[in-house]
Every structure is written in structure tokens, then in C-alpha cells.
């Protein structure tokens, strides 16, 4: 593997680790071997729990500055969810993954909501 390929892999794993910290917290996200055991179901549960807590629509009475902070935090969590979801689907996580070869959005535009 060339040096630049190693650097790309290291950057990707760093993004995945940061995403895990955002969704699962530092106590799990930094745990040794956590990324190899994480499942798609666990990623979905963690995102939904955080979304119920931090979704900006829940704070419509908040001052605009606080609402903007909530929006930014929610966007970061949604990005973390997409990064971890793609990581698990690509085979980087534990069992319970979706079909191999499927990307975060399948490569065909935005993911469908269920």
C-alpha cells in the first residue's frame, strides 16, 4: 500500500471514530474494538435516541441563537449517522449489516425514508 493510500485510510478511520463518538459518546466510541463490533441496528438506535433528544423541531420556543446551535448539532449527528452507516454496510462493522455492496444511499440519490 502506498503512503498516500495509508493516509486516506487513516483519515477515513478517523472520520468513522469521530462519528462513533458523536453518536455513542466517548465512553464507547473510543473503546478498543468497538468499531469492529458495531452493527447497523445499533447505529440506527443511537441516532434515533440522539435525534429524539436534540432535534431542532423540539425547541421551537428557544431563542434563535440556541436553535441554530441545536440545528448545527443535529446536522453533525446526521452526518455521523451516514458515515457510520456506510462503514457498517461496507463490512467495517460487526454482524447485522445490510447487503454487501450497498452504499449509504445506494449510489442512487438520497436514501428513502421508512
Q: How far does Cα 8 stand from its chain's mean position?
A: 19
DSSP tally for the chain: helices H, then strands E:
5, 0
Cell of 82: 451516514
Q: For residue 101, name the pLDDT band (cuts at 50, 70, 90).
A: very low
The more confidently predicted of residues 67 and 100 is 67
Per-residue pLDDT, 41: 96
Cell of 75: 446536522
Does 107 score more than 70 pLDDT? no
Does 16 score more than 60 pLDDT? yes
Does 80 score more than 90 pLDDT? yes
Q: Provide the mean pLDDT of the chain.
A: 80
* Vertex 66: Cα angle to 63 and 71 (nearest 5): 120
Sorted by where each begins, the domain ranges of the chain are 3-89
In 3D, which of 51, 67, 27, 22 has the Cα closest to residue 113? 51
Tens-digit pLDDT profile for residues 21-58: 999 999 888 888 899 999 999 999 999 999 988 888 88
Q: Which residues contact 105 (CB under 8 A, 6 or more apart)?
A: 111
Q: Considering only 36-50, 73-87, 94-108, which range has the smallest mean pLDDT?
A: 94-108
Amino acid at each position: 500500500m502506498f503512503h498516500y493510500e495509508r493516509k486516506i485510510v487513516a483519515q477515513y478511520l478517523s472520520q468513522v471514530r469521530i462519528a462513533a463518538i458523536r453518536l455513542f459518546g466517548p465512553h464507547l466510541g473510543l473503546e478498543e474494538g468497538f468499531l469492529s463490533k458495531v452493527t447497523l441496528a445499533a447505529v440506527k438506535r443511537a441516532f434515533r435516541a440522539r435525534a429524539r433528544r436534540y432535534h431542532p423541531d423540539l425547541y421551537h420556543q428557544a431563542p434563535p441563537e440556541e436553535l441554530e446551535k441545536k440545528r448545527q448539532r443535529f446536522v453533525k449527528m446526521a452526518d455521523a449517522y451516514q458515515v457510520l452507516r456506510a462503514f457498517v454496510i461496507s463490512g467495517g462493522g460487526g454482524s447485522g449489516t445490510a447487503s454487501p455492496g450497498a452504499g449509504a444511499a445506494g449510489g442512487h440519490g438520497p436514501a428513502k425514508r421508512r
